[in-house]
Amino acid sequence: MSHQVRVIDGLRFDRIPFDELFAGNEPVLMRGLTADWPLVQAARRSPTEVMSLLATHYNKKPVIVYVGEPEMGGRFGYNEAVNGFNYRSERRDFVEVLDRIRADSGSEVHPYYYMNSIVVDQSFPGLAAQNSLDFSHPVFAHHPRIGKIWIGTESIAAAHYDVPRNIACCVLGRRRFTLFRPEQIRNLYPGPLSPTPGGQVVTMANLSQPDFERFPRLRQALDEAWIADMEPGDALYYPSLWWHQAEAQDRFNVMMNYWWVDSPAYMGDPMDVLMHAMLGLRDRPLVDRQGWRALFDYYIFGDNSVPRAHLPEHIQGALADMNEENARRIRDVVAHSLKR
């Protein structure tokens, strides 16, 4: 049976317990963390005031907006044939989109608008000056975060995972996150690797209206789900690779979030490794794959000091501690092999 995400009360945006969050490696809902933000204060007065505040900071550069017709019900994803999406993507003036949302606010049946993953400093310069979190923890000296904003009508972003760690801050409108541990991937029936809505693999199942005949293992995933119901001023932390469905529940909704990756850039994207493994390993005979699994467990997923413990330092090569120089040598080897 699903359970509620752990809640911490009484925190402020400048007193985030990062060490506790990192050690727990689970989602945590920080109730009222951003209650003092001017944006959240405006949200408590009216959605119109939030629209005005955002428009004041908008720098007039067009934004990408997803537009869905009323029949898609706010769930942005694939069309019925799975050969495209159930929405169209447009470049629009932000204020014009707000005008459309405002004009439709009295209609029960209306189009859906979703402006997702907009870099705050690129489209709303100055907004973060009074609406941000304190990232003075030492980890951020080497792993900078990026702030983004998500704006629109009611919407459901189908369950997916992100590589970065995340703190999602609810600014306006109620929001529900449904989260799953990474090992639930098999029970969530991921869609194709490409094309994907928003650039990430998403579940093919509808969590709100589950079809257990088509997706029988989904029942197990839902039994293990973590639920976080958010109000304006709340912030949700969740670790890397946790699957999550984000549901914005009111007519107009705003969320700001902060992403960061806690590994050096020279290590590259793990998805590249996965794609290379599909090329080189996935379709080999089972007995061969079992052998390669043992090698990966030894060299990659086990204690990384064991494979080199018996080797003199000068011959450890790729087994040595990873740094920019070692990463460059390994990339050269991989790039050369791919050219053959």
Smallest CA-to-CA distance from 293 within 304, 282, 303 is with 282
E strand or H helix at 21: helix 18-24
Is the pLDDT at 1 greater than 80, yes or no?
no
**pLDDT of amino acid 317:** 92
Residue type at position 263: S
The domain limits of the chain are 3-262, 267-338
Query: pLDDT (tens digit, 9 = 90+) per residue, 19-55?
Result: 999 999 999 999 999 999 999 999 999 999 999 999 9
Is the pLDDT at 199 greater than 90, yes or no?
no
Query: pLDDT (tens digit, 9 = 90+) per residue, 277-324?
Result: 999 999 999 999 999 999 999 999 999 999 999 999 999 999 999 999
Smallest CA-to-CA distance from 272 within 190, 191, 331, 318 is with 331
Give the chain's mean pLDDT. Answer: 95
Q: Which residue has the tokens 């934004």?
A: 63
Is the pLDDT at 14 greater than 90, yes or no?
no
**pLDDT of amino acid 336:** 87
**pLDDT of amino acid 286:** 97
Fold of the 3-262 domain: Jelly Rolls (2.60.120)
Mark 8-37 as b/e (b = at least 16 C-beta within 10 Å): beebebeebebeebeeeeebbbbbbbbbeb
Sheet holding 235-238, edge to edge: 6-8, 28-30, 235-238, 165-172, 253-260, 146-152, 112-119, 63-68, 88-92
